[in-house]
Structure 1
Amino acid sequence: MNFFNTSDNVKTYYEIKGEGNPIIFIHGFTETHDSFRIQQRILSKKYKTITYDIRGHGLSSRVDYGLNMERLALDLKEFIDYLDLQDIVLVGWSMGTSIIFEYINIFGEYNLSKICIIDKGPKVLNDNNWNLGLYHGKYTMEDALKDLSLIKDNWMEFTERFIKSMAPYFNKKQFSISMDKMKNNSPNIMYSIWKSMIEKDYRKTLSKIHIPALIIFGGESTFYSIDTGRYLKENIINSELVIFQDCTHLLVLENPIRFNRVLEEFTSKY
């Protein structure tokens, strides 16, 4: 098993498969490196594919500090330096995109060649000046405060609501498997990370992105609307938007063949 230690002594699990230009995959909230197992198996035939567990997730250390977007971005920077990587394609799914935005906010486009944004907007909370956030513009500060209380007091109830809203089509078996996976997370860690993520507004960060950007959204996503994807396309200079019409927020798993093809075409295009 491979681990690297961050500067604040957090053991971070990672996997590397294949040779060639590096692609780093960053998973979402409550997930692990295993989210990209299909991508790693296929794309590692042509690229150096790298997955890792964000601090507090999966096999990485369960610590009670550094649970914010700034530190997660620094972890990524230290990871890149540790592996001595350059010309990286950075792929972020959901919260993984927030980490990409924060990375660019702090470090610019250091050692990056391209980025891929998967079904995530620049701002989670909706207000009088923003209606392209979570749940198609319906997730407000009031909702966020209720969720934070629920995460702290009854993690599994939050989990049930979260899964049902993300994948309303799940059958009993799929739902049960997802609930079992969520039990492995620590509520206090998830509380701090969710709080940090929902506080962020990366709209001004978009103008700092000059490298090619691939934006992929699910046409049936219950989290973010296609209009959110269009907003990103309009505000990131060198970007392209691809809609997976019949997919939800889970498009990476729902149509991995198309996802791999689109990502590989994008990676080899420039």
Structure 2
Amino acid sequence: MSYILTDDNTKIFYKEKGEGRPIVFIHGWASSLVSFAIPAFYLSKKFKVITYDLRGHGKSDATEEGLTMKRFAADLEQLLEALDLNDVILVGWSMGAQVLFEYIKNFGCRRLKGTIIIDMAPKLMNDNWWNLGLYRGKFTHEDNLQALKEMTANWETYIEKFTRILVPDLDEKQFKYIMKGTLINNPNVAATMWDVMVNADYCDVLQKITVPTLIMYGEKSTLYSEETAKYLNNQIPNSRVEKFKGCTHLLVMEDTQKFIEEVDKFEKKINK
């Protein structure tokens, strides 16, 4: 197994396969690099594909320190540095997109050739001026306090509820697969990062994304709306939107073939 050791002595697990343009995938909250296993396998036939587990997730060290987006961004920079990666396409799904935003906030776009943002908002907490956040504009500060209370009281019960909301029409086999992948994560890390994630605001970072950007969203996503994707498109200078028809927040898994094709087309376009 492959790890890098960060400057605060934390092991970050990663997988690297293939040759060519480097594509680095950043998974979402309470998940792991397994989220991208199938597209990573096929895309590695044409590109150098890197997947990794965020700090506190999967096979990376679960630490009490460094549970911030800034530290997650620093871990990513140290991974790119250790693997000597430049002209990277950075792909962030859900919370992984926040890591992408934070990375650009702290390190700019000097290592990047393009970015892909998958079904995410720059600000999750909805308030008097913002209604494009989590649960299609219906998640508030009070909702967050309740969510934190529930997930710390019984992690498995909360994740079951969250998963049912995430994909209302899941069959039992899919449900058990998602639950198994989620429950391996440390609940204390998950609760901490949930609070970090929903209180972040990256609206002012979007115009700093100066590389070509593809914004993907699920037509049936219960988390974010089409208007959220359009907002990102309006704020990020060189960007376009791709809708995944009939898909939810889990569009990478639900239409893997389209996802692979869109990543491939995006790389070809920016490589001209």
TM-score of the alignment, normalized to the shorter chain, above 0.5: yes
> Which stretch has the larger CA shift, 57-66 or 170-179?
170-179
Deviations 1:108-167 (A, max 9, x none): 113011000000010011011000001100011111111112222211121011101101
TM-aligned CA deviation for residue 219 of structure 1 = 0.4
Residue type matched to 1:43 in 2? L
1:213 equivalent in structure 2: 213
1:126 corresponds to = 126
Residue equivalent to 1:267: 267
Instruction: Note the C-alpha offset of 1:176.
Output: 2.4
CA deviation after TM superposition for structure 1 residue 178, in Å: 2.2
The match for 2:197 is 197
Q: Which amino acid counterpart does residue 130 of structure 1 have in structure 2?
A: W
Paired residue secondary structure (1:237) = coil
Structure 2 counterpart of 1:61: 61
Instruction: Give the CA deviation at 1:14.
Output: 0.4
More displaced 10-residue stretch of structure 1: 178-187 or 149-158: 178-187
1:111 aligns with 2:111: yes
In structure 1, what is the equivalent of residue 23 of structure 2? 23
Show structure 2 runs of 5+ residues with no match: none
Give the Cα–Cα distance (whole angstroms) in 2 for the partners of residues 31 and 182 of structure 1. Answer: 6
Cross-structure match for 2:78: 78
**How far apart, in 2, do the equivalents of 1:61 and 1:267 lie?**
32
Q: Which amino acid aligns with 1:23?
A: I
Q: Report the AA paired with residue 182 of structure 2.
A: M
Q: What is the CA–CA distance in structure 1 between the aligned matches of 2:181 and 2:44, rounded to whole Å?
A: 26
Structure 1 residue 195 displacement after superposition: 1.1
Identity of aligned residues (%): 46
User: Which secondary structure does the structure 1 equivalent of 2:24 belong to?
Assistant: strand
SS of aligned partner of 2:150:
helix
- Taking the aligned partners of 1:139 and 1:169, their CA distance within structure 2 comes to 22
Between the aligned partners of 2:246 and 2:220, the Cα distance in structure 1 is 6
Deviation at 1:39, TM superposition (A): 1.2
Partners of 1:207 and 1:174 lie apart in 2 by: 38
Offset of residue 57 of structure 1 = 0.6
Unaligned stretches of 5+ residues in structure 1: none
- Which secondary structure does the structure 2 equivalent of 1:90 belong to? strand
Aligned to 1:247: 247
Question: Where does residue 173 of structure 2 map in the other structure?
Answer: 173
- The answer to whether 1:140 aligns with 2:164 is no
- Give the structure 2 partner of residue 3 of structure 1: 3
- DSSP 3-state at the match of 1:233: helix
**Residue 217 of structure 1: SS of its match in structure 2?**
strand
Letter in 2 for 1:254: E
Distance (whole Å) between structure 1 residues aligned to residue 43 and residue 35 of structure 2: 14
Are positions 1:14 and 2:14 aligned together? Answer: yes
- Residues 90-109 of structure 1 mapped to structure 2, 5 A cutoff: 90-109=90-109
The residue matched to 2:165 in structure 1 has which SS? helix
Aligned length: 270
CA distance in 2, matches of 1:195, 1:113: 31
Question: Shift of the alpha carbon at 1:212?
Answer: 0.3
Q: Which amino acid aligns with 2:152?
A: K
Task: Name the counterpart of 1:38.
Answer: 38
Partner of residue 236, structure 2? 236
Deviation (angstroms), 1:181? 2.5
SS of the residue 1:210 aligns to? coil
Q: CA RMSD in A?
A: 0.9
- Provide the secondary structure at the position in 2 that maps to 1:170: coil
Taking the aligned partners of 1:201 and 1:223, their CA distance within structure 2 comes to 16
